[in-house]
Structure 1
Amino acid sequence: MANVTPLNRKALFNEFHQSVQKIMARPIKVKLTIADQNIPRHLDTIFLCDAMENGTENEFIIDLELNYHTGAALLYHITLPRGQRNQGLGTRLVHTIERLVRELGLQSISLPAEHHSTEFWLKLNYRFRYPGEGNFYAKHANRQNLNLAYDLYKNLPPLTPDTNN
């Protein structure tokens, strides 16, 4: 794992926050908790949010947890406002998240993917953690009303000097 100090992490988080604001083309509120080095299992959390007051159709959320002990990130939630979906913004945000995770020395991202968004994650090379979930999804991919989530993950290659996202 890369040797990332709390100061480096804070700079990386600030850079990430600025990247997200640039992608979304507006200021985004941020909640950031930086791990205490004295507690080895303490998690960093990032919560970027611009939840509009008129309901979930317009909210923007990234909820990400970083676990240095396991070398994994858990992306609990990513949501774009309905009017900004299907324009490539989600893909750009995911690539930005993956880059941050790699820069912080973590090796993988896990996430709970709702049935209706699973195709998006599969296109970005995320995989089913459990084969049974993949088999179930393959049989029911076209069903729109399934209220369930699959456990997906992606192993991330280490950053190289010529890595571009």
Structure 2
Amino acid sequence: MANVTPLNRKALFKEFHQSVQKIMAKPIKAKLTIADQTIPQHPDTIFLCDAIDNGTENEFIIDLELDYHTGVALLYHITLPRNQRNQGLGTMLVHTIEHLAWELGLQSISLPAEHHSTEFWLKLNYRFQYPGEGNFYAQHANHQNLNLAYDLYKNLQPLTPDTYN
């Protein structure tokens, strides 16, 4: 892990939260847990939420776990309100998450991608963790009503000045 102290992490999380609010152009509630890194397997967690109507298409959620012991950021959930999809906001948010993970010294991001959103993740250079899932997706990509998720990952690359712009 990069030499990132709890104080540095808190500052990076604040910067991340501000970036997300700027992208979404509104205030977003944040819940942050900074773990005691002397205890193995205690990751930091970030939960950002703006739920106009819980459980509907109007939710905004980012649920992220940062595990410094494995070097992996686990993106459990990212959801945009339906009326804000297909505008490039999701891509900007993912790049912001990748930037945070890299700044924290993490090497990769892993996530469960629902079938209907897998194409989005593949365009952002995420890959199937298991080849069998990739084969299944290739055969069933046009079936939008499948209710399943694939394990995807992306190895993070060193930052360049324009990597996450």
Determine helix, strand or coil for the equivalent of 2:159: coil
In 2, the alpha carbon distance for the partners of 1:158 and 1:106 equals: 11
Number of residues of Structure 1 aligned to a counterpart in Structure 2: 164
Which residue in the other structure is 1:85 paired with? 85
Contact 1:35 1:44 in 2 (8 A): yes
| Structure 1 residue runs of 4 or more that deviate by more than 2 Å after TM superposition | none
Residue 102 in structure 1 maps to residue 102 in structure 2: yes
In 2, the alpha carbon distance for the partners of 1:130 and 1:55 equals: 30
Structure 1 pair 85/150, CA: closer, same or farther in 2 (3 Å)? Answer: same
In 2, the alpha carbon distance for the partners of 1:54 and 1:36 equals: 31
Which residue in the other structure is 1:69 paired with? 69
1:14 Cα deviation after fit: 0.0
For residues 10-67 of structure 1, give each alpha carbon's deviation from its aligned partner in whole angstroms, at most 9, with x where no partner exists.
0000000000000000000000000113313211000000011364111000000000
Structure 2 unaligned residues grouped into runs of 5+: none
Which residue in the other structure is 1:60 paired with? 60
In 1, the alpha carbon distance for the partners of 2:55 and 2:45 equals: 24
Which residue in the other structure is 2:11 paired with? 11
Q: What is the alpha-carbon root mean square deviation over aligned residues? A: 1.1
For residues 111-142 of structure 1, give each alpha carbon's deviation from its aligned partner in whole angstroms, at most 9, with x where no partner exists.
00000000000000000000000000000000
In 2, the alpha carbon distance for the partners of 1:148 and 1:116 equals: 9
In 2, the alpha carbon distance for the partners of 1:100 and 1:12 equals: 7
Map 1:9-158 onto structure 2 (within 5 A): 9-53=9-53, 55-158=55-158
**What letter matches 2:131 in structure 1?**
P
1:163 Cα deviation after fit: 5.0
Tell me whether 122-131 or 35-44 shows the greater mean CA deviation.
Answer: 35-44
Determine helix, strand or coil for the equivalent of 2:51: coil
Contact 1:107 1:158 in 2 (8 A): no
Structure 1 pair 54/36, CA: closer, same or farther in 2 (3 Å)? Answer: closer
1:9 Cα deviation after fit: 0.2
Structure 1 unaligned residues grouped into runs of 5+: none
- Over the matched positions of the two proteins, sequence identity in percent amounts to 86
In 2, the alpha carbon distance for the partners of 1:158 and 1:6 equals: 22
